[in-house]
Amino acid sequence: MTPAAGTPERRGFRMPAEWEPHEATWIGWPHNRSDWPGKFAAIPWVYGEIVRKIAAGEIVRILVESKAHEAKALRLLSRVGADLSRVAFFRFPTDRGWTRDFGPIFVRRERPKREVAVAGFGFNAWARYPNWRKDASVPARAAKALGVPFLPVRFHGKRVVLEGGAIEVNGRGTLIATEECLLDPVTQVRNPGMTREGMEEVFRAFLGVTNVIWLGKGIAGDDTHGHVDDLCRFTGPRTVVLCRERDPKDENHRVLEENRERLASARLEDGSRPEVVPLPLPAPLRFDGIRVPASYANFYVCNAAVLVPTFNDPNDRIALGILSELFRDRPVVGIHAVDLVWGFGTLHCLTQQQPAVARVRGKGYSGPSS
């Protein structure tokens, strides 16, 4: 199918890989105590460490509720030693803090001039929660504040709902997603009636994707119903890490083995096979008897580092070692996430990258080569 004349693909836009140079990272400062019941007091300090690490290499654009909320965040960031010259606040009220999912999904083009735009997907709180309208307004507000184009995503006249955590791209044309999240016709349905072919056409038209790898289900404890960023991530144009659970009695074991089998027969955009590197999971983590989606795959690649959630688990060391071998152009840094994951997400779920417009050279910006 030939893309419509006005689509981002026809206009030369694509979604860059996460390791490509950033202008900024967007993150929403925590305010909704119901996201971390009983643990909220610790959460702003974790955010402070995240911002401190990211601000070492790029601007951090922080969503806040009010002037008072901004002042509170600023005081904490000053105490933890974050580079405040690289922190900018935007008073955009939100329902929650999971900026990966409701925040602006940026695309970029090289010609006729190098520029970014926001692909304007809809958001409905994972088709699970009733309060989402503040979150859903953020992409358009961000585009307006930055002075960049906002490109509403529609398919057959209907707004398309998509969270950033539901997709993973290599920047060369391949996207990975799960059928459970985007194609389930019964549970947490984002786009009723949407077919596989329809979803792929949306990816092609608005993200510049030419090849989609469909995995099956996501990991246990994930309230998004199958986000890919908890189980499978690109670490280079041709390399992915896939979570592996060796215990056959664990509920993740069979799900992840089925995904491994799918990747074994998958092809990248050029017809080659991806290299698949197993990434362990920590031991099952529960709070108040509820399993949470603790996963090292929820790492975030910023200009200055790769930030990896850690869980006071023996596999922390192994996961950090694997990712250090795969990301040799920047340090791999662990961030304690035992409290954070009680909100059913960690580092990648909280952040959203804004690609750089200007070409950036130097240490930490080249990206993986394979």
Catalytic positions are 349
Q: Name the percent of the chain lying above pLDDT 90.
A: 92
pLDDT confidence band for 364 (50 / 70 / 90): very low
Three-state DSSP at 26 gives: strand
What superfamily would CATH give domain 22-355?
A: L-arginine/glycine Amidinotransferase; Chain A (3.75.10.10)
| Nearest of 290, 217, 254 to residue 39 by alpha carbon | 290
The pLDDT of 82-103, averaged and rounded, is 98
The pLDDT of 322-339, averaged and rounded, is 98
Check whether 4 has a pLDDT greater than 90: no
pLDDT confidence band for 344 (50 / 70 / 90): very high
Q: Which residue has the higher pLDDT, 226 or 10?
A: 226
Domain residue extents for the chain = 22-355
Mean per-residue pLDDT of the chain: 95
The answer, as to whether pTM is greater than 0.85, is: yes
pLDDT confidence band for 44 (50 / 70 / 90): very high
Any residues with CB less than 8 A from the CB of 91 and at least 6 apart, and which? Answer: 64, 65, 66, 67, 70
pLDDT confidence band for 367 (50 / 70 / 90): low
Check whether 369 has a pLDDT greater than 60: no
pLDDT tens per residue across span 187-217: 999 999 999 999 999 999 999 999 999 999 9
CB 287 within 8 A of CB 219: no
**Per-residue model confidence (pLDDT) at position 365:** 38
The pLDDT of 145-160, averaged and rounded, is 96
Backbone angles phi, psi at 152, to 5 degrees: -60, 135
